[in-house]
Structure 1
Amino acid sequence: MIGIVVSRADPASVHIGDHLLELTDWERVVDDARSDSEGGGTVHRTPGFELRSLDDLHLDLEGVADVFAAPEFVVFASKHAGDTGPLLTAHHTGNFGPAEHGGADGELATACPNAQARVLNALREHAPSGYDVGMEGTHHGPSDVGAPSMFVELGSGETEWDDPDGARAVARAILDLRGIGPYRDRQVVGFGGGHYVPRFGRVVRETDWAVGHIGVDWALDAMGDPSENRDVLRQAFERSGATRALVEGDRPTLTDAIDDLGYRVVTETWLRETAGVSLDLVAQVECAIGSVDAGLRFGDRAHEAGKAINGITTVSLPAALLAEAEGIDAAATRAAVERRTIAFDTDHGGSRLAGEVVLRETDDLAEIVDAFADVLDEEYETVERRDDALIARETAFDPTAARDAGVSEGPAFGRLADGEAVTVDGRTIEPETVHERRERRFPLDEDNDTPRTEGER
């Protein structure tokens, strides 16, 4: 069950609450165990949700989960105030530093990253025209809710707080949380950046990683020296269900403190590349071939493999064959590797294949070589697959032979190169006399990988 908190001191909260009650059927029950001002009195229940109204502002409602019957998480339907125009937003609560707006100094509430990711998607789906959707860094109280929690907000001024379309969008997004749990198997803590955290919003929007607590620039400044506030940092991880952090900007003191606590700082590239891949498999492959940040990328078979695999095979692709295929069609060559590998190494910032690959079975290497042969077939007349090599054959124009035959560079030279006979000083020069039959051998044995070219006219 998800607990929904409506504050009577917040006009936007009341407005959102009214739309929640209109959008679905609710059972009205009476709770005589507590006063109406403290969430008792009339209580509304519908499958998956319980809605209670309280007199106090949300940020002062410490321990409010106790008014519900063991909620999975709590949603505060709230206003957002700021100079940001029409905005629908969500965030977690707590204070990295002094508590200036509710909660306690250096105390963070328990986050619900999976639910926040889902509600942000729902806000984008339901947002009225003219509204932006975003997430915010962790700020204000309460810091001890008693269950995982988040604020879902309608902003950013009185016009929007009274807007029925905006309030209805927030209400619909909250109801879309039915059946959603507070956590998933991958969430990350964020540090750095501005209050409206576009980078972390992008991670939530474009990967399968959720984001828990976010200590933005001003919050980290308020916290002070990370090495002296490790307890706050530890809370950020523990209360987000996270073991990894994404840090925006150069913050060596912070990253050192995170490392000392036993957590791992990762990059946005790492989060993107590991999306959809078992984290057990990620760890196994990084040990075998190197880190994502050093160039490791995951192939399609990593997404099919599930958890870590017994007996993965790491091999090097035939270097000369790889270089030739990339030179002919780099995109097709990379696609051939991506489709048939668990992982592969890259260089030049991930733009070029480095040659080392992780395979599920050794037979997969033969499939890659066959795909490379198809790429070479775009350039060569024939490509023959042998056990130890690919043999590529072509008939190529020999400029030196053309000059020796008396053909100067110019239009006739070009026509001859294109396979057309030309006449020079009354003599007909046939194209086959200035074309050479060439054969290139690309070894498949990595110990004997030097290509050999042979030719005859």
Structure 2
Amino acid sequence: MTVGIVVSRADSASRAIGERLLALRDWERADDDASAARYRCGGFELREFEDWHLELEGVASAFDDPAFVVFASRHAGSSGPLLTAHFTGNFGAAEHGGADRDLAEACPNAHRAVVSAFAEHAPEDYDVGMECTHHGPTAVGTPSMFVELGSSESEWADESAAETVARAILDLRGVDAHAERTVVAFGGGHYAPRPTRIVETTDWAVGHVGADWCLDDLGDPREHRDVVAQAFAESGATRAVVDGEQPRLREVVADLGHDVVSETWLRETTGVDLGLATDLEAELGRVADGLRFGDAAREGAPREYVVVDHPDGLWADAHSVDADAALAAASEHALAYTTEENGNRVAGDIAFPDANAHDAYVAALASLLDEKYDAVERDADAVRVTDESFDPGKANARGVPEGPKFGRLASGHTVEVDGEEIRPEDVASERAEAYPRGARETVVRREGER
């Protein structure tokens, strides 16, 4: 299957992108009709049309079995130099092509690839982003998206920017239209900052986006649940992110059998088997309540794992030595761990892929204590620390006045009191403490990815 590329001769930016596409590859002219030029090049078919893109309903039929169709287009607005991509459809009345309350089939995986290519290759003064779903055509006949150069005449004539768009399109060779991990997005602004972040920083793709103004056009989602359902169906998604409260919309999404998830959840589950993520949330608590997934969760989905009552005391003492390293130890060795204080403190239960990973975690925390204590020992039950330190009570008993001499003794220096030498070891006491490692419980994970 090929990627179909739509170039509109009515659109100067589209023509510029089309010219760069033709210049960047060796294309074979595949027709004799100059009014409907067709070109083929390994994995691509490019067609030129006289009509505006918005008027090209059913355009997929003009191509030979395309996997998806890309509309090479201009973007018009006051957003300055911008490279953007979006899907087509109308959540409300069709004011710019397509049908009322109708959404075209999206190609979220291909869209993510284009946004990534834009971010990597955009000219220095160009922003990169994505837009909400906001115009036709709606009956394309195959997955599709608009890939745009904006936002005014000067940018539409910018050859370097047109070439960036062309190269991003050509990078789509062999890319699937759909992604296994796709969400739809509701709420927020037209230029969709949250969906853009999701596409750029997680392994989730984003399908249809209904910005705040789109939802205003939609009206009461309970009366137009078919449009909400279509957003999921045409995106290939089972989850949504929602900006703002939107209680009626959330009610409809839940009634349709879909989940509303947060951007944090998408970020945390990036690279994590979703069945494993579901099991760990059920076992330890929700991401929304502070659960975080460790590196081990991104290395595969074990059939069984070890859940441990987290050694809070050991971790807190290690955290006092090196906060970043204590957090990193949990991330490095655990499958998942519960946190407090906005993810800055590990506490509660923690899961490991096996007992060896648990041992490695305890060892990593214990190693941080080496610089704090005179001796750190580990055994099967606990980490035991011992330390000799300045004891003010013993100093008082030896007649040392509180003040500078206290400080010198605490710093390891000998002082003299009434002609008597007082050494640091004379006024030191040994402190010993044992930090339990945590009890283990083996949990067999349910099979199957959700």
Which residue matches 1:390? 383
Q: Which moved more, 1:376-385 or 1:59-68?
A: 376-385
Q: CA deviation at 1:445?
A: 5.2
Q: 1:262 to 1:36 in 2, by over 3 A?
A: farther
RMSD: 1.6
SS of equivalent to 2:222: helix
SS of equivalent to 2:385: strand
Matched, 1:414 2:416: no
Matched, 1:78 2:73: yes
Which residue matches 1:261? 256
Q: CA deviation at 1:446?
A: 4.8
CA distance in 2, matches of 1:364, 1:396: 33
CA distance in 1, matches of 2:110, 2:45: 16
CA distance in 1, matches of 2:273, 2:204: 12
Which residue matches 2:3? 2
Cα deviation digits, residues 14-40 of structure 1 (max 9, x gap):
111111100111011116xxx765xx4
- Partners of 2:327 and 2:344 within 8 A in 1: no
Q: Alignment partner for residue 305 of structure 2, among 297, 300, 312?
A: 312
Q: CA deviation at 1:120?
A: 1.1
Q: Alignment partner for residue 322 of structure 1, among 315, 327, 339?
A: 315
Which residue matches 1:452? none
Q: CA deviation at 1:56?
A: 1.0
Matched, 1:13 2:30: no
Q: How does 1:94-133 map to 2 (within 5 A)?
A: 94-133=89-128
Which residue matches 1:338? 331
Q: Which moved more, 1:169-178 or 1:126-135?
A: 126-135
Cα deviation digits, residues 74-126 of structure 1 (max 9, x gap):
00000111011111111100000100000000000001111111111112222
Q: CA deviation at 1:371?
A: 1.7
CA distance in 1, matches of 2:305, 2:377: 29
CA distance in 2, matches of 1:113, 1:445: 44
Q: How does 1:413-452 map to 2 (within 5 A)?
A: 413-444=406-437, 446=439
Q: How does 1:19-418 map to 2 (within 5 A)?
A: 19-30=20-31, 37=35, 40=36, 42-305=37-300, 307=301, 309-418=302-411
- Partners of 1:25 and 1:46 within 8 A in 2: yes
- Partners of 1:36 and 1:54 within 8 A in 2: no
CA distance in 2, matches of 1:253, 1:36: 52
CA distance in 1, matches of 2:148, 2:437: 60
- Number of aligned residue pairs: give it: 439
CA distance in 2, matches of 1:58, 1:275: 35
Cα deviation digits, residues 269-306 of structure 1 (max 9, x gap):
0011011111122122222222111111111111111x
Q: 1:425 to 1:364 in 2, by over 3 A?
A: same
CA distance in 1, matches of 2:436, 2:3: 63
- Partners of 2:294 and 2:331 within 8 A in 1: yes
Which amino acid letter does the alignment assign opposite residue 416 of structure 1?
A: L
CA distance in 2, matches of 1:355, 1:217: 39
Q: Among the aligned pairs, what percent are the same residue?
A: 55
Which amino acid letter does the alignment assign opposite residue 167 of structure 2?
A: R
Which residue matches 2:443? none
- Partners of 1:72 and 1:147 within 8 A in 2: yes
Which residue matches 1:455? none
- Partners of 2:310 and 2:438 within 8 A in 1: no
Cα deviation digits, residues 366-416 of structure 1 (max 9, x gap):
222222221221211111122222221111100122122222222222111
Q: 1:20 to 1:316 in 2, by over 3 A?
A: same
Q: What TM-score, normalized by structure 2, do the two folds share?
A: 0.94
CA distance in 1, matches of 2:93, 2:344: 45
- Partners of 1:97 and 1:106 within 8 A in 2: yes
Which amino acid letter does the alignment assign opposite residue 385 of structure 1?
A: R
SS of equivalent to 2:429: strand
Q: 1:322 to 1:125 in 2, by over 3 A?
A: closer
- Which stretches in structure 2 are left out of the alignment for 5+ residues? 441-450
Q: What TM-score, normalized by structure 1, do the two folds share?
A: 0.93
Cα deviation digits, residues 352-371 of structure 1 (max 9, x gap):
10131112212322222222
CA distance in 2, matches of 1:24, 1:119: 18
Q: 1:271 to 1:439 in 2, by over 3 A?
A: same
SS of equivalent to 1:102: coil
CA distance in 1, matches of 2:256, 2:240: 12
